[in-house]
Chains A and B, each alone.
Chain A
Amino acid sequence: MSYIKPQFKHPRLQVNDLGLTHRDYEGALSTLCAGCGHDSITSAVAQACAELSLPPHKIAKLSGIGCSSKAPTYFLNNAHGFNTVHGRMPSVATGANMANRDLIYLGMSGDGDSASIGFGQFAHVVRRRLNMLYMVANNGVYGLTKGQLAATAEQGMKSKSGEASLFTDIDLCVSALQFGATFVARSFSGDKSQLVPLIKAAISHKGFAFIDIISPCVTFNNNPDSNRSYDYVHDHITTAAVADFVPVKQEIRCENGQSDSEDICLHDGSILRLSRIDADYDAHDRIKAMTKIEQHKAEGKILTGLMYIDPEADDYHEINGTSDAPLNSLKQETLCPGSHVLKTINESFR
C-alpha cells in the first residue's frame, strides 16, 4: 500500500465545465481499512461534485467522530472541513449554514454518530430544514473502538465477535421521513451507479436531503452472520425505481410521459428521472415510503433508491426570512445601529 498520493495529472484527463479534472475533487490518502465501504462513498462524492462542476471551495464538509467522520478528509481537498465532536455535526452545520447560506454543506456521519450519541441533533437538523446533504455511512458497528454493535444493527444480527444485537434497530430513513426530511434515499457503497446520481440529486435539492448509505465494515462486520456484509447486502438488495440525474444544460429527451417513468424538476433546474420497477412506487408519498421500507425489512430485503422527495420544499432561511446576502458578509454599517439610536434606547430606561 502506498502512503503518498501521486501529484501527477495526466494531461488528457477529462475536464468539467470549470476546467477541473476529477483529481481536483480528491482529498488526502485514505487511512481507512483496505476495502472499507466508506472509501467508495468518498469516491462517489468526489465524482458527483466533479460531474456537477461545483467549485470545490464553495463546499463545506462537516462530520462528527468515527470512521465515517474521517471520510471528508479523503475528498475535496480545496474545501474547508470540520471534524466536530461525536454526534454534534448537525448543530455546527446549522450555525455554519446560518452564517453563509451560499455554500453547499455536505455532512458526513455514521451510525453511532447519528443513531446513538447524536440522534437528538439528527432529529432536529432534519426538522429545521437545513439546506444540506446529510450522509450516513451505515455499517451497523463501531469501527474505531473495534466492533461494538450500533443502534442500526437489526435485532439478532451477530457481529464478528459473535455478539448478537438484542434490541430493535433504528432505521434512519424511516426516522428522517418522520422528522420531515424532504429528500430521503438509501443506497449501497458497493453500487456507485445508484449512489452517484442520488448524491447529485440530493445536492441539487433545496432543503434537507438525507442518504443512508450501507457501507460494510470489512474488519468488524463482514462475517456470514451479519446482514451488513458485502455478500448479504448484494444478495438482499432491491430497489423500487432507478434514479437518473439529468443536469440543467442537457436537453431533456421525451422519455417522460411514459407510465413507468417520472421526471422531477429540482430546485436548480436539473432533472431527477425515476424509472419505476415497482408499479406501486410513489416518490411523493411520505407515509407509503415508510411502509415500503418496513415491509421490505419484514421480508428480509433491503429497499434502496429514492424513498421520498418534495421538490417544492423550502429551507430554514426561507422560513426565517434571512437576508439574501450571507450574514457573514454583512458589514458593521449594516449591523451596528450607532450611537444616535442608543440615545432613544437610554431614554426608555429613565
Chain B
Amino acid sequence: MTLFQSINEFVVRFANTNGTGSASANNMFAKAIMRMGLPVSAKNIFPSNIQGMPTWFEVRISEKGFLGRRDGAPELVVAMNAQSIEEDIQSVQPGGFLLYDSSRILPQRLMRKEINFLGMPISDICRTEYSDPRQRQLFKNVIYVGALAALLDIDFQVLKDLVSDQFKGKDKLIRPNIYALELGFEFANKQFSCPLPICVERRDLIGDRILVDGNTASGLGAVYGGATVVGWYPITPSTSVIEKFASYCQRLRIDPANGQKNYAIVQAEDELSAIGIAMGGGWNGARAFTATSGPGISLMTEFLGLAYFAEIPLVLMNVQRAGPSTGMPTRTQQSDMLTCAYASHGDSKQILLIPSTPKECFDFSAQAFDLADRLQTPIIVMTDLDMGMNFHLSEPFGWDDKHEYDLGKVLDADDLEKASDFGRYLDVDGDGVCYRTLPGTHPNKGAFFTRGTSHNEYAAYTEKGEDYIKNMERLEHKFATGVKRLPAPEITINSKAKRVGLVYYGSTDEAIPEAVSLLSEQGVKVNTLRIRAFPFNPQVASFIREHDSVFVVEQNRDGQVKKLLCNELTIDPASMCAVLHYDGLAITGQFIAESVQTELSVQTDKAAG
C-alpha cells in the first residue's frame, strides 16, 4: 500500500456524534495547528438536531494559505461515531489514514486495503480511567486530540498551553485535561509509528492573525458600535450573534458602580417583533439591532419597508442559510441577496454590507450603526452560515480610539430653538438626508408623526401625487449620495491584459486564492473584484466593462447578484457568466477554477469554430 505523504498540506475530518462535547476538543486541535505557525481553517458540518446525529468537523491545514473548503477526500479521518463509521471509512483518501475506536472490532467487510487503519481502544481506556459516564464521554474527545499530537507531530507543549489558556480561572480542570491528552499521546507513541507521513512542521506564517467565527465578530462589533437595544428570536445560524453580543455585554457593559446594564436584550415572540423592537429603539435614538436568517428575513420584510419609507435607522444581521422555506437550516448559502436588496413591497431598496472575514464582520457590524444613523435607513449586514459559524483565520480586530460615532442629523433642543423651520422630511442639505428629532427633546418644537403612509416634507399624511413623488425621488437621491459612504470593492489586478475577471463577495473569498492559483497554473491570469456593499460602487461597473470575460461567483442557484448587477448597472446578462455553487457546503477553489476553465474553453471553441 502506498502511504500518502504531505507536510503541512492536508485535511483532517472528525466524525462525531452531536451533543457529545466534541466541538471544544476539535477547536483545540485547530488552534494547536495555528500555534504551530500554520494557516488553518475549520468547518463544522452539522445536522439540524440536538443530540445523537452524525456531525463532522473538517480542519484544513495549508502552508500555502489555501483555506477554503477543499474538494476530494480527506487524508486523515478521526472516526468516533459508530453510526457513520461505514461512510467515514469510505471517505478516506487512498493512502490516507483512519483513526478509530477499536474497543469494538470492526467488521471485516468494512476494511479497505488502500487505507491505513489506526485502531485505538478509546472507550476501553475511558472505562478504565473514569467512573463518571459524562467524563468517559468528554475525555474521549481530549484523548484523541492527544493521539493526534503524536501522530501529526504537534508540539505537546502547545496543547498543554492551550488547555491552561482555555481553563484559566477554572484551574481544577487543567490537570485532568492534560492527563487525558497524555493518555492519547502515550498510547499513539507506543502503538503507532509516529509521526505519520502526513504531519506538521512548525512555520511562522500566522503573524498576529486570529482564528474566530464571524458571528462572534459581528456580536463584538455591535458592542463597539454602541448598540444598546436588541430584539431577537432564536434561529440557526444567527443565534450566536446575539449570544456573543450578550456575553461581551456581560463583561463590558455592566456599570461597575451599581451593577446596572447599559443594554437591553429582548427575546421576542417572533421575528416580526424582533425587528419591531430594533425599530422602536432606532426611532427613539438608541443604536438598535436584530439578527436573523432565511425564514426570519421573510417575516422582517414588512418592517424593512416601514423603516425604508419612514427613514428609521436600524441594523439587521442576516446570517444566510440554504433556502427556500426552512431549506437546509444548518447548511450555507448566499441566497437572500435579492430578497434583502429589494426587501418589502412597493418601490423599496435596502443597503447591504457584505463582509468576507471575521475582521470585516467586526468592522462592518460596528460601521453599520454609523451608516444607519447617518442615512436613516436599515443597514443589513449579509453574512452566511460558513462565515458566521465556522472558524476562519483573520486579521485581528482593531478599533481606532479617535473614531467618533456618527450619530447623523439629529436636532437637539438648542438646534430647534435656533431653527426657523422644521420639517422631518425637508431636504435642507440637498443630499436627500433630512434632520430628525427624538421624542422628548423640546416642549413645543420638533414633534412629528412617524408613519408608513405617504407623507409630505412636514411628516403630514398626504395623498397628493406630487408630494409622494417628491419624497420617493428624494429617497432615491439619498441612496445615490449614500453609496460613497459604503465600503468600496476590493480589486486585485494580476494581469493588465484584463482578459478574465472574477466578481464575488462574502465568504467565497476564502476559496479565491486557491482558484486564482489553479487557474494561473493553467496559464489563465485572472483579476478579481470583491463586492462589499449594495447599492454597487461605480468601480464595479467599470471592472465588468473592462474585462473580456467576467465570472460572477456565488453560492446560490439563481445567480442573484449577477441579476442585481444586470438590473442596477444595465449590463447585458449575456456578457457575464455565472459560477454557482449551492449544495449547502462552502464553495471550493477547485470548483471555481474548473467552472471558469470549462467556460473559457467553450468560448475559445466558439471563437475558433
Binding site for B on A (CB under 8 A): 55-58, 60, 62, 72-73, 77-85, 88, 90-100, 102-103, 120-121, 123-124, 128, 316-317, 320-324, 327-328, 330, 332, 334-339, 341-342, 345-346, 348-350
Contact = CB atoms under 8 A, between A and B. Distances in A.
Contact of B212 (A58, A88, A335, A349): A349
A81 B444 contact: no
A80 B306 contact: no
Contacts of A103: 284, 439-440
Given A78-B447, A83-B452, A335-B253, A99 B303 contact: no
Nearest to B396: A346
Interface of B: 31, 34-35, 165, 208, 210-212, 220, 223-224, 226, 228-229, 231, 252-253, 255, 258-264, 266, 268-270, 272-288, 302-303, 306, 396-401, 404-405, 437-444, 447-453, 461
18 contacts: A78-B447, A82-B283, A83-B451, A94-B231, A95-B283, A98-B286, A98-B288, A99-B280, A99-B283, A99-B286, A99-B288, A103-B284, A120-B269, A328-B286, A335-B223, A336-B223, A336-B224, A341-B252
A55 B441 CA distance: 11
A255 to B, nearest CB: 37
B229 A335 contact: no
Given A95-B283, A96-B280, A335-B228, A84 B306 contact: yes
A95 B226 CA distance: 16
Contact of B270 (A82, A92, A120, A320): A120
B439 A350 contact: no
Given A327-B263, A350-B211, A99 B285 contact: yes
B202 to A, nearest CB: 15
Please provide the 9 A-B residue pairs with the shortest distance between their CB atoms, ordered closest to farther: A95-B280, A91-B276, A99-B286, A80-B439, A349-B210, A99-B284, A328-B285, A96-B280, A95-B277
Question: Most A CB atoms within 10 A — which of B31, B283, B284?
Answer: B284
Given A88-B276, A91-B231, A332 B226 contact: yes
A55 B442 CA distance: 10
Nearest to B397: A342
B278 A95 contact: yes
A345 B258 CA distance: 25
Nearest to A20: B443
B438 A328 contact: yes
Contacts of B439: 57, 60, 79-80, 96, 100, 103
Given A91-B268, A316-B264, 17 more contacts: A57-B443, A73-B449, A82-B450, A88-B272, A91-B276, A92-B277, A95-B281, A99-B229, A99-B284, A121-B273, A124-B268, A317-B264, A320-B264, A335-B226, A336-B399, A341-B252, A342-B397
B279 A95 contact: yes
Contacts of A93: 280
Given A73-B449, A99-B285, A121-B276, A342 B398 contact: yes
A123 B269 contact: yes
Contacts of A98: 228-229, 264, 266, 277, 280-281, 286, 288
Nearest to A93: B280
Contact of A82 (B269, B287, B404, B449): B449
Contacts of B405: 332, 336
B358 to A, nearest CB: 8
A236 B405 CA distance: 59
Nearest to A337: B252
A72 B270 CA distance: 26
Contact of A92 (B223, B260, B283, B399): B283
Contact of A322 (B261, B449, B450): B261
Contacts of B226: 332, 335-336
A305 B284 CA distance: 33
A56 B444 CA distance: 8
Nearest to A57: B443
A332 B400 CA distance: 13
B270 to A, nearest CB: 7
Nearest to A327: B228
Question: Most B CB atoms within 10 A — which of A79, A82, A317?
Answer: A82
B261 A320 contact: yes
A322 B263 CA distance: 7
A339 B401 CA distance: 6
Nearest to A335: B226
A89 B332 CA distance: 34
A350 B210 CA distance: 5
A80 B224 contact: no
A68 to B, nearest CB: 15
Contacts of A323: 255, 258, 260-262
B447 A80 contact: yes
A84 B288 contact: no
B471 to A, nearest CB: 16
Contacts of A84: 276, 279, 306, 452
Contact of A338 (B276, B287, B399, B441): B399
Nearest to B305: A85
B210 A346 contact: yes
A78 B443 contact: yes
B33 to A, nearest CB: 12
Nearest to B362: A342
A334 B512 CA distance: 40
Contacts of B283: 82, 92, 95-96, 99
Contacts of A348: 165
Question: Most B CB atoms within 10 A — which of A58, A95, A316, A338?
Answer: A95
Contact of A94 (B220, B276, B437): B276
